[in-house]
Structure 1
Amino acid sequence: MIKPYLKQALATAAVLLALLSPAPAFAQRQATWIWYPGDYEIWLGNQMQNRRTERGSFFPVFWRMDSHYALIDFHQDFDLKQAEEVELRAEGQYNVKLDGKPLTGAPQRLTVPAGKHRLNIKVYNQAQVPAVFVRGKTIASDGAWLVTFEDKEWIDASGKTSDQSGTTWLTAGSWNFNDPQALPSAFKLKTEPQRAASVSCTPTGQVVDFGRETFGYVRLHGLRGKGQVALYFGESREEAMATETCETLDRLDVDQTQKADRLTTLSKAFRYVNIRPEAGVSFDSVSMLYEFSPVVQRGKFRSSDDQLNQIWDVAAYTMHLNTREFFIDGIKRDRWIWSGDAYQSYLMNYYLYFDTPTVNRTLFAQRGKDPVTSHINTIMDYTFYWFMGIYDAYQYTGDKKVIQQLYPRMQSLMAYCLARRNANGLLEGLAGDWIFIDWADGLSKKGEVSFEQLLFCRSLETMALCANLMEDQAGAAQYQQLATELKAKIFATYWDASKQALVHSRVNGQPTANVTRYANMFSIFFGYLSPEQQQQVKQSVLLNPEVAKITTPYMRFYELEALCALGEQPYVLKEMKSYWGGMLQLGATSFWEEYDPSKQGAEHYAMYGRPFGKSLCHAWGASPIYLLGKYYLGVKPLTPGYATYVVEPNLGGLQWMEGAVPTPQGDIAVAASPKQLKVKGAVGTGTLRFRSRSKPSCKGAKIRAKGNGQYEMQLEKGREYVVTYQALTK
């Protein structure tokens, strides 16, 4: 067995060998802009979240905003066979040292002589993130560079930190800015011009309809005159026409005698725009500049049900609109990085884009910096969703980088949570805490809520997993013990055998009689219930009309996932068609923050005591993407990064379905009908699981009978399999 000190020495030697290797080892490296890990994400998140306005007024976030470090020192050691000219750029004031000797001025080019040398670049920038770009024949700014904010601990931009105590693996500080002219501080989302679908004249101006929910800037063509133009934005026509109560508006001051085009200064969400120029101001026409993140849609789904296909398409469009610099909640409001919303976006992303940079940026921006003074977004459950997002990121991608990057911040945030336990070892809301759970009338947040304990337990399990990955054996043992003890306490405290369910809360030491869906449905897909308890919860809670219904897509996501995990795909299909189909029947072009079928007309647009307070394009409304990919196409990783995975198609009453699920190394294609299955994988080793009334067959593959009509067969990378069978349903 290798002794710990020897293992550490070998790791240190490997780092030094990489840093001091001759020119050929550096020749393949891509130069990119680098910064202190996490600083750019925090800075960019601040920029984005502070663009929110309501009726023309600045509307900042409700929580502490952190900032980047203003002074950063970058360095790397080289061993060059020959002298090398190096191009250098920096964001901010900077100086350069070669072998500890300062160079005159702020050089953009320098020559590094042959031999062993150290290059230092120290950058100051209060307004933007200090960053550097270095490129030579073999020298390149990349993950091998070390950075420090002068705390005397050097962290390399790809994730290593070193001081007198040794080496600890951390995280990267770069994205995809591989052009010296592509300054990180100048990053903007892409735009493209789009025409209006229709324009109608009113006594006061024009109402422009862009055909569906959209996001961007309004452009007035041929604008001239002197005065003001008021623009009232609406996700619905009713909102755009309600000039006194619409959520967003803009006013342009005009003073020009010649016709010219004018673009609004802030991007906004809308479908309709009510444009009202003052007398003396005119314009010729209206268009827009659509703003979007250039993510690539890899996930696909089609079926025999046209309405379900439309649901998937609108869900994908909803997800696209809310995928921006980060995963945000909604494009009208709040345009913020809410952790609960983002957690669902991560899961939908793994079945639509598999865009891990946006996941990682969002995790970084949410967490901010130490010291921890409150829960993420001030919401207890949102802190736990942040931990769970890291757990899922590793399961789907297999990439330890984000864990290396965030583990110290995970430790400090968990220490904050542990310090806030009460005398019973449970969590309840303290001063400054927001217990959210869901938007639901009459939902009690008092006492020790079972739902919060369940998420807390899962977060401790996440900490144990990540501690093991970081070779923190003591931490792993501690977190696992805490999780085990908490799980036992949850069931001893909240499980009511007579109700066959977890009760909602305990107040003043006494369990309440109230049963809600939240803790019960999470306990199913967390795997916390025995098979017998799962069936009890299904009947006594999930399929029980006496238990208060859920009206937000946010929690419908988890309710339907729990039912899918229990094999209730036919029931869930009907629910999706009823719930999301209900929004489509009302004309929705993106999915909403909340939908209550009992409401009528413009009542659907009201929320928070405001007639148009509801978001009609909310990320958490896109959950059919996840449900259809994971539980109908049936694709999910069994081990991190899809090294092994399962495909378990479930038609759920459909006549046929086909689609693709993205993975780190390619897409898994699935097609199913009652008589044939087609599967092709591009990653790892897969297992196809299915049920058949008769003995199935597949050319060139061995099918194993598992009993009770269940069968399995192995899937090799790159090969397409066609299985003939007779679907067996419950």
Structure 2
Amino acid sequence: MNNSFLSNISSAATWIWYPGDFEIVLANKMQNRRTERGTFFPVFWKIDSHYVLMDFHKVFDVPTEETVDIYVEGEYNVKLDGKAFEGSPKQITVPAGKHKINIKVFNQANVPAIYVKGKTIVSDATWLVTFEDKEWIDETGKASDISATKWVHAGSSNFNSPTQLPSEFMLPTRKQAAVSTLKGKNSMLVDFGKETFGFIQLHGLSGKGKLSVYYGESEEEALSAEHCETLDRVDVNNPEKKDKIMKLSKAFRFVNVQYDEGVTLDSVSMLYEYADVKERGSFSCNDEEINRIYDVSKYTFELNTREFFIDGIKRDRWIWSGDAFQSYLMNYYLYFDNETVKRTTYALRGKDPVTGHINTIMDYTFYWFLGIYDYYLYTGDKDFIVQNYDRMKTLMDYVLARRNREGLMEWMTGDWIFIDWAAELSKKGEVSFEQLLLARSLETMALCANIANNKDAATHYNTLAADMRSKLFNIYWNDTKQALVHSRVDGKQTENVTRYANMFSIFFDYFNEQQKQQVKTSVLLNDDIQKITTPYMRFYELEALCALGEQDYVLKEMKDYWGGMLKLGATSFWEEYDPTKKGAEHYAMYGRAFGKSLCHAWGASPLYLLGKYYLGVKPTAPGYSEYVVEPNLGGLEWMQGKVPTPQGEIELYVSKEQVKIKGVTGEGTIKLKSKSQPLGNNVTAVSKGNDLYEITVMPGVEYVINYKAQ
């Protein structure tokens, strides 16, 4: 293992564990809280668990003798320079000099974890850890000095107190009152004013009998005792008034509480459960409807940012790779919270052996790779790549073993090809969208192999990626249709053209400029091509249009689509929106009257679009060491905002006459279309022709640029 790993680790002590183990176990706890009308509803893919026996060690050069406190989750022993202390000491003394500390921990119930704190000796992510030390002893009692042990650097998060046990982690809560309560005979209809998430609290509950809580994202759902998606049943036997908190957190706006004659209830409130992450990005403009869309997107994303990035708060509350991939991108423009990205990535991947696609979905395996590609671009965190490279390799080995004779991805038993919720979307044959995602995943593997210093593997993956891109266009491009066709069946192109592979090829930059313009007309702006009705794929459709400079069009689409939900009273954005539906039809999905999620992470995509394609800020080298700013008002009069980076926020104001910008890291390049040469303090505008100018932005300098927008 590279000993320079995590050179920026602080000297503060923190709880450490085998990387991914805490994340996997936490995901198991969270995802298996799902219930459907009171019935346990587990995930339907392979669940892994933690390694139960762990060996931690690190070599320290101690300047002077020091006392070291040891806290452990599990049974353990401690060795100093190979010699074991008696029992399981909570404190040891380490003399001056170079010493190796080993702590071996067994814990069947929870993740083996340690917290070590001395003056210079502390537990952090520079410790090495293994789940099998492969130590052997010969007939003389001598321990082997040759080992096949695979050591990796410890996992950690932000458990920085010895009393902050990883096994006891819970999200924080805060009290939240109802907006209104309608009392009936033995019932209460409680409205919390907007979509929310947490634990219902019953106040002044007494008597004897049955009580039921029916949850609803809409009033209609809460009032439907037979068809609401979630509920709680309570047996009441309280001579005196008591308060009761429901066991599981739920999603709702309304709750309908019904109880027997012998039961009394004073009032209902809630404990709002949330992830303690900080907003760093922002956006506002002259258009109040867009501001409202941005604010509701923020709230939607807040609700779906929990221990992990989840899909939706009412129904699944699971970690789906396709949903998570979009959440990562939104996160980079709002929170820039690396820890939640890493936790989610670990949880989705699980452990070897690989026995199926992530979430059982072929495209979701590819999104996992793409998420790592973007994580490195936005954060520059090489250490996470190195730590996960072996997991990436074994997952890619699984993928490549499932290609058909022609080296293409095709449905096999056990695979789910999802793509999108769309009527009669064919998954037969070799679907172009899957080949495109594989090509990008192979490019990710090549990038990460280089970071892991495996040059031969990098060459191999680059060769495979180039081959896939060649096949993509040789097999699926149709000159007559001026687009990639949807699939090939029995060696022949199908007639169907869909948006998916075509729009991804635009922002992946797989098309040349001529093809991009052809596809814009033949596919993206063609009403004869099957429309997209989920925010999930609208995300990518609008991104492709923005990448083509169609921000004016996209702004109108945003106001129509997301604004359409707001006009129907949405307080968070939905899993799916079809403007042709009426009334309670909007709540139905999956053959159930209230099956649709009215708060879905993929509905928050304006966070990403407005940050990347209107403010126009995006990294072009890992960790924003280099970045570009291509502001595009898209019909707005002015806009302003902040875009977070690893070192702070890039602040930006844009109108038709002026740009103000202050960067904090790296070297930025502003690209402006202007009728005349831009001028201003610290401004040196270089003409690139066709009224395009570039201005270099250095860290810590505020630039005020006067220009004339076209």
Which residue does 2:140 correspond to in 1? none
How much has 1:119 moved relative to structure 2? 2.0
Which residue does 1:549 correspond to in 2? 531
**1:639-682 per-position Cα deviation (integer Å, ceiling 9, x unaligned):** 00000111111000001111111000010111111111111111
Measured in 1, the distance between the counterparts of 2:151 and 2:585 equals 53
CA contact 1:672–1:678 (8 Å) conserved in 2: yes
Superposition TM-score, scaled by structure 1 size: 0.94
Question: What 5-or-longer segments of structure 2 have no aligned partner?
Answer: 136-144
**1:556-609 per-position Cα deviation (integer Å, ceiling 9, x unaligned):** 000000000000000000000000000000000000000000000000000000
Measured in 1, the distance between the counterparts of 2:212 and 2:636 equals 49
CA distance 1:723–1:400, shift in 2 (3 Å): same
Measured in 2, the distance between the counterparts of 1:322 and 1:700 equals 42
Two-structure CA RMSD over aligned residues (Å): 1.8
Pairwise mapping of residues 18-417 of structure 1 onto structure 2 (< 5 A)? 29-152=11-134, 171-417=153-399
User: Which residue of 453, 457, 468 corresponds with 1:486?
Assistant: 468
Measured in 2, the distance between the counterparts of 1:66 and 1:168 equals 20
Which residue does 1:585 correspond to in 2? 567
CA contact 2:674–2:709 (8 Å) conserved in 1: yes
How much has 1:100 moved relative to structure 2? 2.4
CA contact 1:395–1:640 (8 Å) conserved in 2: yes
**1:27-58 per-position Cα deviation (integer Å, ceiling 9, x unaligned):** x7111111111111111111111100000000
Equivalent pairs counted in the alignment come to: 701
**1:188-230 per-position Cα deviation (integer Å, ceiling 9, x unaligned):** 1110001101111234401000000000001111111112210
How much has 1:79 moved relative to structure 2? 3.3
User: Which residue of 515, 521, 529 corresponds with 1:539?
Assistant: 521
CA contact 1:171–1:404 (8 Å) conserved in 2: no
Question: What 5-or-longer segments of structure 1 have no aligned partner?
Answer: 1-7, 19-24, 154-162
Which residue does 1:160 correspond to in 2? none
Say which SS state the counterpart of residue 346 (structure 2) adopts: helix
**Residue type at the aligned position of 1:449:** V
How much has 1:148 moved relative to structure 2? 1.3
Measured in 2, the distance between the counterparts of 1:382 and 1:363 equals 12
Say which SS state the counterpart of residue 95 (structure 1) adopts: strand
Measured in 1, the distance between the counterparts of 2:679 and 2:535 equals 40
- The question of 1:505 aligning with 2:484 is answered no
- The question of 1:559 aligning with 2:541 is answered yes
Measured in 2, the distance between the counterparts of 1:170 and 1:345 equals 28
Which residue does 2:506 correspond to in 1? 524
CA contact 1:648–1:688 (8 Å) conserved in 2: yes
Say which SS state the counterpart of residue 85 (structure 1) adopts: strand
**1:439-459 per-position Cα deviation (integer Å, ceiling 9, x unaligned):** 011100111000000000000
**Residue type at the aligned position of 2:397:** A
CA contact 1:171–1:402 (8 Å) conserved in 2: no
Measured in 2, the distance between the counterparts of 1:506 and 1:521 equals 18
CA contact 1:30–1:178 (8 Å) conserved in 2: yes
Which residue does 2:614 correspond to in 1? 632
How much has 1:371 moved relative to structure 2? 0.6
How much has 1:164 moved relative to structure 2? 5.8
**Residue type at the aligned position of 2:678:** P
CA contact 2:129–2:154 (8 Å) conserved in 1: no
Question: Which has the larger displacement, 657-666 or 195-204?
Answer: 195-204
Which residue does 1:661 correspond to in 2? 643
Say which SS state the counterpart of residue 89 (structure 1) adopts: strand
Measured in 2, the distance between the counterparts of 1:634 and 1:393 equals 19
Measured in 1, the distance between the counterparts of 2:37 and 2:97 equals 63
Superposition TM-score, scaled by structure 2 size: 0.97
User: Which residue of 459, 462, 466 corresponds with 2:441?
Assistant: 459
**1:270-323 per-position Cα deviation (integer Å, ceiling 9, x unaligned):** 000000111111111111000000110111111111100000000000000000
CA contact 2:13–2:122 (8 Å) conserved in 1: yes
- The question of 1:576 aligning with 2:561 is answered no
Which residue does 2:141 correspond to in 1? none
Which residue does 1:158 correspond to in 2? none
How much has 1:255 moved relative to structure 2? 1.1
**1:327-350 per-position Cα deviation (integer Å, ceiling 9, x unaligned):** 000000110000000000000000
CA contact 2:179–2:192 (8 Å) conserved in 1: yes
Measured in 2, the distance between the counterparts of 1:166 and 1:563 equals 52
How much has 1:167 moved relative to structure 2? 11
How much has 1:152 moved relative to structure 2? 3.1
Measured in 2, the distance between the counterparts of 1:317 and 1:218 equals 20
CA contact 1:499–1:540 (8 Å) conserved in 2: yes
Question: What is the percent sequence identity of the aligned residues?
Answer: 65
Say which SS state the counterpart of residue 331 (structure 1) adopts: coil
Which residue does 1:694 correspond to in 2? 676
Say which SS state the counterpart of residue 286 (structure 1) adopts: strand
**Residue type at the aligned position of 2:54:** I
Which residue does 2:686 correspond to in 1? 704
How much has 1:165 moved relative to structure 2? 8.7
How much has 1:172 moved relative to structure 2? 4.2
Say which SS state the counterpart of residue 318 (structure 1) adopts: helix
Say which SS state the counterpart of residue 427 (structure 1) adopts: coil
**1:94-141 per-position Cα deviation (integer Å, ceiling 9, x unaligned):** 122233232222221122233333322111111110000111111111
**Residue type at the aligned position of 2:385:** I
Say which SS state the counterpart of residue 487 (structure 1) adopts: helix
Measured in 2, the distance between the counterparts of 1:672 and 1:233 equals 44
Say which SS state the counterpart of residue 312 (structure 1) adopts: helix
CA contact 2:130–2:152 (8 Å) conserved in 1: no
Measured in 2, the distance between the counterparts of 1:73 and 1:706 equals 59
Measured in 2, the distance between the counterparts of 1:675 and 1:61 equals 54
Measured in 1, the distance between the counterparts of 2:565 and 2:16 equals 45
Which residue does 2:704 correspond to in 1? 722
CA contact 1:170–1:404 (8 Å) conserved in 2: no
- The question of 1:470 aligning with 2:452 is answered yes
CA contact 2:129–2:152 (8 Å) conserved in 1: no
Which residue does 2:432 correspond to in 1? 450
Measured in 2, the distance between the counterparts of 1:337 and 1:172 equals 24
Measured in 1, the distance between the counterparts of 2:172 and 2:529 equals 46
**Residue type at the aligned position of 2:481:** K
CA contact 2:283–2:294 (8 Å) conserved in 1: yes
CA contact 2:133–2:149 (8 Å) conserved in 1: no
Measured in 1, the distance between the counterparts of 2:446 and 2:223 equals 54
User: Which residue of 495, 509, 531 corresponds with 2:477?
Assistant: 495
Say which SS state the counterpart of residue 185 (structure 1) adopts: helix
Measured in 2, the distance between the counterparts of 1:168 and 1:394 equals 24
Which residue does 2:142 correspond to in 1? none
Say which SS state the counterpart of residue 442 (structure 2) adopts: helix
Measured in 2, the distance between the counterparts of 1:630 and 1:114 equals 53
**1:684-722 per-position Cα deviation (integer Å, ceiling 9, x unaligned):** 111111111122211232111111111111111111111
CA distance 1:354–1:413, shift in 2 (3 Å): same
**1:611-652 per-position Cα deviation (integer Å, ceiling 9, x unaligned):** 000000000000000000000000000100000111111000
